[in-house]
Amino acid sequence: MRAVWSVRIDADTGADYSEALDAHLRERLAARHPAAGAAYAAGRQVTDRVSIQLSIDGSTVRQAIDAALREVTAALREVGVSARAVRVEALPEEELDEELRQMPPELMGVREIAELLGVTRQRADQLVRREDFPQPLQTLAAGAIWPGAAVRSWAATWERKGGRPKAAKAVSE
C-alpha cells in the first residue's frame, strides 16, 4: 500500500543557507512541496547545514527515505553543493498533521504585540486594554498572554492613527 511520507533531511553542505540556495531548492523540488532552511539542533542554528522537508510517495519508509535522499542530493549537486546527510526523519503525513495539530498555538505578550504592531510597549499596553481587543488566554505573574491568531486578526482591522491628537485651542475674547 502506497503512502505519502514527510521526510526531513539535514545535510552538512560546507556553506550556510542562502536565498539563492533556497530559491533553487524550492524550484527544483516544487513537486515535493518542500520546506527548506537553515538546520537547528538543540535550539541553535548549525552552521554549514541545511534542513529540507519533502512529501514523498512510497510503499515503505525505506523507499521514501531513499527517494528523498536521491532528490535532495541531486538538487544540491546542481548548484555545486556536495552534501552529507546527518539526520533523516520520516513519518506518514497523516501522523505529521496530527503532531502539528497538537502543537501549542502561538502566544503573545505585550512585547510581542508591540513588535507586531510597530509601537512601543507602553502603547501596546494601552491597546490591549481596549474593549475591542481580544481577551487574554491567561494572566501569569509576568503578565497576560493572548492567542497570536486572535491578535493578528485584530491587528488586521485596527485603524492606526498617527501622532497625538491636537490640543484644543483656547478661545480668546
- Distance from C-alpha of 33 to C-alpha of 68, rounded to nearest angstrom: 12
pLDDT of 12: 93
Q: What is the arithmetic mean of pLDDT over 139-147?
A: 89
* pLDDT surpasses 90 at 145: yes
Q: Which of 124, 120, 119, 126 is nearest to 109 (CA)?
A: 124
What would the grid cell of residue 94 be? Answer: 497523516
> Percentage of the chain with pLDDT > 70?
92
* Mean residue pLDDT across the chain: 88
Amino acid making up residue 54? L
Q: What does each C-alpha distance from 134 to 87, 113, 116, 149, 165 come to in angstroms?
A: 41, 12, 15, 10, 25
pLDDT band at 99 (very low <50, low <70, confident <90, very high): confident
* pLDDT surpasses 90 at 163: no
Domain ranges of the chain: 3-101, 107-157
* pLDDT surpasses 80 at 43: no
Q: Pick the residue with more confidence: 149 or 16?
A: 149
Q: What are phi and psi of 99, to 5 degrees?
A: -60, -45
Q: What is the arithmetic mean of pLDDT over 62-79?
A: 94
- Distance from C-alpha of 147 to C-alpha of 72, rounded to nearest angstrom: 36
pLDDT of 89: 93
Question: How many other CB atoms sit within 10 Å of the CB of residue 10?
Answer: 21
pLDDT of 122: 95
pLDDT of 129: 94
Residues comprising the chain, all counted: 173
Q: Which fold has domain 3-101?
A: Alpha-Beta Plaits (3.30.70)
- Distance from C-alpha of 52 to C-alpha of 111, rounded to nearest angstrom: 32
> 59: burial class by Cβ within 10 Å (0-12, 13-18, 19+)?
exposed
Whole-prediction pTM value? 0.58
pLDDT band at 149 (very low <50, low <70, confident <90, very high): confident
- Find all residues with CB under 8 Å of 5, minimum gap 6, and list them: 55, 56, 57, 58, 61, 64, 65, 68, 90, 91, 92, 93
